[in-house]
Structure 1
C-alpha cells in the first residue's frame, strides 16, 4: 500500500478543482464591477448612450482582466499538464497564485474608477504579481523535478519565458504610465503577438522532441 504522503503528492484533482473554482469566481466578479447607470425617468436615448459610453474605462478594465485571467488559466492548466506530482511547495505557490487571481477584480475596480496613471499602474502591478507567482510555480516544479520526464530543457525554458512575458509587459507599462497613461494601456497589446510567437515555438519544440524520441526508439 502506498504511503499516505505519497498518495497525497499524486492527488491533484482537488488542487485543480480549487484553482478552477477560484478563477471562475474571479472572472464572474469582474462583470459585477460594471454598474448600470441610473438616470431619471424621461431621459433621452442620446443622454443614456452618452452615459454608457462614458463607462469605457469599466469595459476596458473588464475585457483586459477577463482576457488576462483567461490567459493565466490557460498557462496554469499547462503547468499541471506537465506536473506529475506535487509537494507542499507546489501547494503553497499555487495558493499564492490564487491569492493574486482573487485580487484581480479589486484591481480592475481601481482602474475603472481611476483610469489615470495610478489606476493603470495599480492593475498592471496586480496582474504582474499574478503572472510572477505562476512563473515561480513552474520554475519551482521544474527545479524539483516534479514535471513529466522527457521534457527537453528547451521546452522548459520556453514555458518559463511564456510565464514571465506577461509580468514583464505589465511592469513595463507601469514605467510607461508615468510618462503617458494612454501609451501604457497600448503596451498591453504586446501580449498578443509575443504569446503567439512563443506558443508557436513551444509547439515546434515539442514536435521536434517527439520526432527525436521516435527515431531513437526505432534505432
Structure 2
C-alpha cells in the first residue's frame, strides 16, 4: 500500500462491530410501538382475542415483520460488501454511516404506515426510506469495489469479473422497484393504500427469487472463472457460495438477544410504577403486581434459554450458509416479539383464568413455539450439510442427542401448554408457572445424568484398580489369533480354566507379565476387570 495512503486506511473490524450493533438495535426496537393501548384495555367488556382479530393489530404485526425483513436484508447486503473489503477509509466509513442513518429511520417510517394504513403519504414516506437505503448501499458497493488499496489481492482479480459485480448490485435494485410499484397502486391505480401495502410485501418473495437466480448464476459462471480463488480466500469463498460470516451472525444474534432482555425489564420498570391509584405501601404494591414480576421472570428466563440453545448450536456450526441465515433470521424475528408477549402477559395474567388471561398465555406460548421451531429448522439444515457446516465434534452421538434434546424442549412443552389452555378444568396460570420452572430442569437433565453416569463409572473403575493383583495373578488366558479361529470368536479371549470366551473389555494385561507364543496361541498373564 502506498505510504501516502496508509494513514487514510483503517482495519474494518471496529466499523463492522459498530454496524452490527446498530442493526441489532434497529431490528429489535421496532417492537416498542407494538402495544395494546391502555385506554382500550380499561373497558370492562374488553376482549383481547376480538381486538387482535378484528382491529388493525394484525396489520401492525405484519408490518413489523416486513420492517424486520428489510433490516435483515440490508444487513445481508452489508455483510456481502464487507466480505470483499480488507480495509476501510474515510469515504467508506462516511457512506456506511449514511446507510445506517437511513436504516435507523425504518422503525419510524414503517410505524407511520401501521398507524395510518389508509394514508398514501405514509406509504410514500416508507418508500422513500427504502429507496434511500438502496441508494446508500449501492454507492457503498460501487465505491468499495473500485478502491483496490482496500481489497485483498485475490479479490482484486475476482471483482474484475462483471458477473460478480452484478451479484452485489442486483439485490439492491429489487426493493426500490417493488416499493415504486406499491406507490403506483396506492396513488394512481386503485387509490387504495392497503393495496399498496400488500404490494410492498411482495418485496419478500421477489427478493428470495432474485437471490436464488443469482446463486444459480454464480454456480454456472463465477466458479468457472475464479475457481482458483475459492479455497485460498475466505472473503471470495463466502461471496461466491452465499456463505455469511459466522462472527457477524453471532454478533447480530447476541445483540438482538441482549436488547430483548433489556426491553423485557424496561416494561417492568417503566409501566407498573407509573400506574394511577397504585398502593401506598410497598407490601400492598408488590402483592398487586406479583404477576407482573412473575411475567418478567418467566419471559427473561425463556429468552435466556433460547439464547443458550442458539449458543450451543453455533458452538457446533463451523460455517453459515444461506439457509442457516434464513432460519436464524426467522428465529430472531419471532424472538423480537417476546417483549410484546411479556407485556401482554403482565397486563392480563392475574390468576382469574379469564378469557383475556388465556389469550395472553396463548400469544406468549405461540411466540416461543415459533422461535424454537425456527431454531430446530436451522439445526436440521445444518445437519443436512454436515460435512460443510458442522464441526467434527458433532460425530459424537451423545453431543447430537443432548443438542436435539434442547431443541425439542420448547416445542413439546409449549404445545402442551397451548393445548391445556383449551381445557376449562385447569387453572392456566398455575400450569404456566409449572411450565416456566420445569423447562430449566429439563435443560440440565441430560447433562446431570451424564455427569452422574461418569461419576459412577469413575468410582467403579477406581474400586477395580484397588483390587489385589495377587488374587488373580495365577490365572492364565490365551488370546486367540483371528486368522486361525471362527469369525464369532473375533476379539474374544479364551479362558483355559473354565473353557469359555471372555470379551476384550473384561481383562487387562498385568504390569510386568510375560507373553509366550505356542503355535497359534498367544498366552498372557491378565487381570480380570
Q: What is the TM-score with the length of structure 2 in the denominator?
A: 0.37
2:196 maps to 184
2:59 maps to 57
For these two proteins, the number of residue pairs brought into alignment is 211
The equivalences for 1:1-219 within 5 A come to: 6=6, 9-38=9-38, 39-40=41-42, 42-43=44-45, 47-53=47-53, 54=55, 55-116=57-118, 117-145=120-148, 146-147=150-151, 148-151=155-158, 152-178=161-187, 179-180=189-190, 181-188=193-200, 189=202, 190-211=206-227
Post-superposition CA distance 1:52-77 (Å, at most 9, x none): 23212211220000011101101100
SS in 2 for 1:86: strand
Q: Which has the larger radius of gyration?
A: 2
SS in 1 for 2:226: helix
> Greater shift after overlay, 143-152 or 113-122?
143-152
The 1-side partners of 2:75 and 2:121 are apart by 26
SS in 2 for 1:31: coil
> Measured at CA, do residues 121 and 113 of structure 1 come closer, stay the same or move farther in structure 2, by a change above 3 Å?
same
SS in 1 for 2:105: helix
The answer on whether the counterparts of 2:11 and 2:86 sit within 8 Å (CA) in structure 1 is no
The answer on whether the counterparts of 1:131 and 1:167 sit within 8 Å (CA) in structure 2 is yes
Deviation at 1:136, TM superposition (A): 1.2
> Measured at CA, do residues 138 and 203 of structure 1 come closer, stay the same or move farther in structure 2, by a change above 3 Å?
farther
> Measured at CA, do residues 198 and 29 of structure 1 come closer, stay the same or move farther in structure 2, by a change above 3 Å?
same
1:217 maps to none
The 1-side partners of 2:110 and 2:36 are apart by 16
SS in 1 for 2:165: helix
The 1-side partners of 2:111 and 2:3 are apart by 47
RMSD (Å), alpha carbons: 2.4
Post-superposition CA distance 1:78-108 (Å, at most 9, x none): 1000112222111110000000111111011
Post-superposition CA distance 1:87-134 (Å, at most 9, x none): 211111000000011111101110110113222222122122112211
> Greater shift after overlay, 195-204 or 149-158?
195-204
The answer on whether the counterparts of 1:159 and 1:202 sit within 8 Å (CA) in structure 2 is no
The 2-side partners of 1:24 and 1:207 are apart by 33
Deviation at 1:205, TM superposition (A): 3.6
Unaligned runs of 5+ in 1: 215-219
The answer on whether the counterparts of 2:117 and 2:194 sit within 8 Å (CA) in structure 1 is no
The answer on whether the counterparts of 1:93 and 1:137 sit within 8 Å (CA) in structure 2 is yes
The 2-side partners of 1:203 and 1:186 are apart by 33
Post-superposition CA distance 1:132-188 (Å, at most 9, x none): 211110011123334421221211123111222222222232222213334323333
The 2-side partners of 1:213 and 1:101 are apart by 33
The answer on whether the counterparts of 1:169 and 1:191 sit within 8 Å (CA) in structure 2 is no
Answer 1 or 2: which has greater helix percent: 1
The answer on whether the counterparts of 2:185 and 2:195 sit within 8 Å (CA) in structure 1 is yes
Q: What is the TM-score with the length of structure 1 in the denominator?
A: 0.85
The 1-side partners of 2:223 and 2:183 are apart by 37
Answer 1 or 2: which has greater strand percent: 2
The answer on whether the counterparts of 1:135 and 1:160 sit within 8 Å (CA) in structure 2 is yes
Unaligned runs of 5+ in 2: 231-529
The 2-side partners of 1:4 and 1:31 are apart by 47
> Greater shift after overlay, 138-147 or 148-157?
138-147
The answer on whether the counterparts of 2:171 and 2:211 sit within 8 Å (CA) in structure 1 is yes
